């Protein structure tokens, strides 16, 4: 079999990647992804162009659309920051969705059962959300650092557990009137800050802090060193395990904070409606932003646009499809800029 | 629940895990972690349900499932093998896209009962009420074990998973071998997805695979990358899945959600338990590493 099948294609690394090549490759792959998306919609009998233009119109001109776009941008980008922090040290925390749900549960506990003096209560919500998000990441993080249990699998499993925990609380102890799976309204909620939705403001502050820590402080250097080469960092005497553990926990905590904003700003109560696949959206945004803070912030806007648009046409699955396609396009584009595909003729190997 | 009903439901719950888990073992032995399996399975399930409902023929549903599972897995495999993209991110991207795509293409097919395949009881009355496919599907891990340990292709697969550079210098085409392993995995994932909708649940619901694709990925380390040991894991998790329904009938009130999350929690526990020096020795040494000729 090996002698008969030969693929006459070779992938060769490029020494110099020109800026022009990057532009051309990225534009074509992204366009191909969007065209594929439209073609799929067309084949399914949806009018893709009018859906897209509706989404564009809705998100950028209708007041409700803009408001929703900005707050979704904030929430998604906070999760994306969590993804970025763990992915940069090559910890694949895929459980952001679960940690986000845990954070929302924490916020709900603070809002419903803790003293309700508005600023104090909001702080408690944030704190409890952050802690619960970290707690949800704690077991996989510990197992990963101590005995290197595959973190991808353990965090994915905990996503499902988090959804079941949420259902348990909403159908059981926290259920609303007539057993409806919805808590009562939070007495204290996050609102607008200076005309902007609070999740977005929080996101901008968090991204600024992350940037400063990563690129302006000494611990940021250690962090990036561990991300680039764990073995070298460990040989230099840095406590690599501690760095990995902290990054894992912080990324979980940030997802929890996003959950706090979804429950306390977007909805004002806890319901199964908070499960909207934001965890995967954050992952997509972080990868599209090439794991750099500034670009990730803008990639999150791009992803949020698709999410809000998909909800506005009542097809939430469209958001998933767009995220997946964009991720694939982006990954292939990154590879295609760095490699050249050579088709070989004749028997020259 | 009667014992025979319990056993047949465990078997029908185990088969999807058995197929997908064996596929994952095979592809990981070739050095590729396939995290796109959830996406491939659910897309296969969706297309199997659509085909079976529109044509009224469950066998065509299986065929559609296999084709879609194969195409999606090859689509995934080409990214790390051809373009050297990070396997984990590529797998997750294709799983997300698969989940979204499946719920879009199968809109409007929810709730329909799919045409079922004949049961063994119809063929011979003394046989158990299992579907006719299950005896064939149950031996697939055996076949894969044979393939891996007794054939030339199996040797190549193990070689590219353990030391692709050495394999390459002996003239084994690393990319082709990995693609072959991935396509067998794709066929098994397609079968598994189709089996879930056509036999286990018998109707399409959004997210019907319910994380079985991820469980299948976890079955690979759980069974020490040994196809025969997949039987243990698959039946263990299928048993847990069915026990939920048994436990709901018990007089002691256990929260339903706790029962539903036990498989996932037990899986994490299992991943911890199988961590040992012996496991470290058995990991395909080039697992997750892209091959570059130096």
Answer whether A13 touches B (CB < 8 Å).
Answer: yes
Q: Is residue A133 part of a domain?
A: yes
Quote the domain boundaries for residue A250.
Answer: 77-290
Using the 8-state DSSP alphabet, how is residue A115 labeled? -
User: At residue A89, what are phi and psi to the nearest 5 degrees?
Assistant: -100, 20
Q: Is residue A300 part of a domain?
A: no
What CATH number corresponds to the domain at position B259?
1.10.3470.10
Chain A residues inside the 8 Å CB shell of B204:
none
Q: Is the pLDDT of residue A349 over 60?
A: no
CB B43 within 8 A of CB B68: yes
Q: Is residue A52 part of a domain?
A: no
Give me the count of residues in chain A: 349
d(CA B277, CA B268): 18
Token couple for B38: 């959830």
Q: Is residue A152 part of a domain?
A: yes
d(CA B157, CA A67): 53
Domain count, chain A: 1
Q: Is residue A193 part of a domain?
A: yes
Domain count, chain B: 1
Token couple for A319: 């958001």
Which residue does chain A place closest to B33, by CA atoms? A152
pLDDT digits (tens, 9 = 90+) for A99-111: 999 999 999 999 9
**Higher-scoring residue by pLDDT: A244, B288:** A244
Phi-psi region of B146 (alpha: psi -120 to 50; beta: other; left: phi over 0): alpha
Q: Is residue A295 part of a domain?
A: no
Answer whether A280 touches B (CB < 8 Å).
Answer: yes
Q: Is residue B219 part of a domain?
A: yes
CB A254 within 8 A of CB A79: yes
Quote the domain boundaries for residue B213.
Answer: 3-110+128-282
Q: Is residue B228 part of a domain?
A: yes
Q: Is residue B278 part of a domain?
A: yes
Contact check, Cβ <8 Å, B257/A322: no
Complex-level ipTM: 0.88
d(CA A28, CA A56): 21
pLDDT digits (tens, 9 = 90+) for B143-163: 999 999 999 999 999 999 999
Q: Is residue B121 part of a domain?
A: no
Q: Is residue A259 part of a domain?
A: yes
Contact check, Cβ <8 Å, A149/B268: yes
Chain B residues inside the 8 Å CB shell of A334:
85
Q: Is residue B35 part of a domain?
A: yes
CB A317 within 8 A of CB A310: yes
Q: Which residues contact B284 (CB under 8 A, 6 or more apart)?
A: B28, B29, B30, B31, B158, B161, B162, B225
Contact check, Cβ <8 Å, A327/B105: no
Contact check, Cβ <8 Å, B260/A164: yes
Q: Is residue B123 part of a domain?
A: no
Contact check, Cβ <8 Å, B261/A328: no
Chain B residues inside the 8 Å CB shell of A157:
211, 214, 218, 264-265, 267-268
Q: What is the helix (H) or strand (E) element at residue A12, kind and residue range?
A: strand A9-13
Chain B residues inside the 8 Å CB shell of A161:
261, 264-265
Contact check, Cβ <8 Å, B257/A323: no
pLDDT digits (tens, 9 = 90+) for B43-58: 999 999 999 999 999 9
Q: Is residue B290 part of a domain?
A: no
Min mean pLDDT across B104-113, B167-176, B181-190 is at: B104-113
Q: Check residue A56 and give its pLDDT.
A: 81
Q: Is residue A17 part of a domain?
A: no
Q: Is residue B288 part of a domain?
A: no
Answer whether A348 touches B (CB < 8 Å).
Answer: no
pLDDT digits (tens, 9 = 90+) for B5-36: 888 889 999 999 999 999 999 999 999 999 99
Q: Check residue A99 and give its pLDDT.
A: 97
d(CA A289, CA A300): 8
Dmax over Cα atoms in chain A, in whole Å?
78
Q: How many CB atoms lie within 10 A of CB A27?
A: 11
At residue A348 the predicted structure's pLDDT band, cuts being 50, 70 and 90, is very low
Of all residues in chain A, the percent with pLDDT exceeding 70 is 97
């Amino acid at each position: 079999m090996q002698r008969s099948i030969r693929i006459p294609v070779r992938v060769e690394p490029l020494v110099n990647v020109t800026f022009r090549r990057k532009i051309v490759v990225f534009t074509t792959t992204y366009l191909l992804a969007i065209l594929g998306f439209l073609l799929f919609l067309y084949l399914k009998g949806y009018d893709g162009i009018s859906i897209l233009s509706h989404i564009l119109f809705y998100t950028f001109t209708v007041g409700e659309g803009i408001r929703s776009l900005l707050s979704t941008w904030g929430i998604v980008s906070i999760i994306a920051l969590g993804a970025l922090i763990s992915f940069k040290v090559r910890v694949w925390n895929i459980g952001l969705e679960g940690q986000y749900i845990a954070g929302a549960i924490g916020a709900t506990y603070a809002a419903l059962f803790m003293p309700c003096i508005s600023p104090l209560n909001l702080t408690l919500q944030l704190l409890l959300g952050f802690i619960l998000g970290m707690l949800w990441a704690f077991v996989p993080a510990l197992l990963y650092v101590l005995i290197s249990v595959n973190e991808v699998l353990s965090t994915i499993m905990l996503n499902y557990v988090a959804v079941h925990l949420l259902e348990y609380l909403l159908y059981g102890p926290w259920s609303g009137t007539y057993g409806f799976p919805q808590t009562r309204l939070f007495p204290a909620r996050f609102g607008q800050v200076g005309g902007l939705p609070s999740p977005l403001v929080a996101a901008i502050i968090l991204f600024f802090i992350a940037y400063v820590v990563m690129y302006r402080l000494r611990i940021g250097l250690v962090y990036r060193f561990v991300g680039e080469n764990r073995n070298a960092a460990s040989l230099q005497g840095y406590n690599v395990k501690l760095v990995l553990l902290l990054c894992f926990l912080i990324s979980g905590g940030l997802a929890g904070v996003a959950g706090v904003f979804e429950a306390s700003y977007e909805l004002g109560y806890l319901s199964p409606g908070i499960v909207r696949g934001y965890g995967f959206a954050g992952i997509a945004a972080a990868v599209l932003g090439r794991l750099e803070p500034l670009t990730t912030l803008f990639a999150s806007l791009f992803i949020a646009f698709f999410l809000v648009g998909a909800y506005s046409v009542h097809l939430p699955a469209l958001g998933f499809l767009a995220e997946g396609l964009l991720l694939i396009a982006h990954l292939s584009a990154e590879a295609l800029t760095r490699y050249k595909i050579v088709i070989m003729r004749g028997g020259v190997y | 629940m009667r014992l025979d009903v319990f056993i047949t439901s465990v078997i029908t719950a185990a088969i999807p895990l058995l197929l997908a888990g064996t596929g994952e073992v095979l592809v990981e032995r070739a050095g590729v972690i396939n995290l796109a399996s959830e996406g491939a399975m659910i897309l296969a399930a969706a297309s199997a349900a659509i085909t079976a409902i529109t044509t009224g023929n469950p066998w065509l549903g299986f065929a559609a499932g296999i084709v879609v599972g194969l195409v999606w897995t090859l689509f995934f495999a080409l990214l790390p093998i051809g373009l050297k993209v990070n396997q984990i991110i590529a797998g997750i991207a294709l799983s997300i896209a698969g989940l979204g795509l499946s719920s879009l293409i199968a809109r409007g097919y929810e709730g329909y009962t799919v045409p079922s395949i004949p049961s063994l009881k119809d063929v011979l009355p003394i046989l158990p009420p299992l579907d006719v496919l299950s005896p064939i599907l149950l031996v697939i891990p055996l076949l894969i074990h044979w393939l891996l340990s007794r054939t030339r292709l199996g040797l190549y697969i193990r070689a590219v998973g353990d030391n692709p550079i050495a394999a390459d210098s002996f003239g084994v085409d690393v990319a082709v071998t990995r693609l072959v392993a991935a396509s067998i995995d794709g066929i098994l994932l397609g079968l598994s997805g189709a089996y879930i909708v056509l036999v286990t649940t018998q109707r399409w619901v959004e997210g019907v695979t319910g994380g079985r694709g991820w469980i299948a990925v976890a079955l690979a380390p759980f069974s020490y990358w040994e196809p025969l040991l997949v039987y243990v894991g698959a039946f263990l998790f299928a048993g847990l899945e069915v026990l939920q329904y048994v436990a709901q009938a018990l007089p002691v009130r256990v929260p339903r959600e706790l029962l539903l999350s036990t498989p996932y929690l037990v899986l994490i526990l299992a991943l911890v338990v199988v961590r040992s020096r012996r496991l470290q020795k058995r990991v395909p040494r080039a697992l997750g590493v892209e091959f570059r000729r130096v």
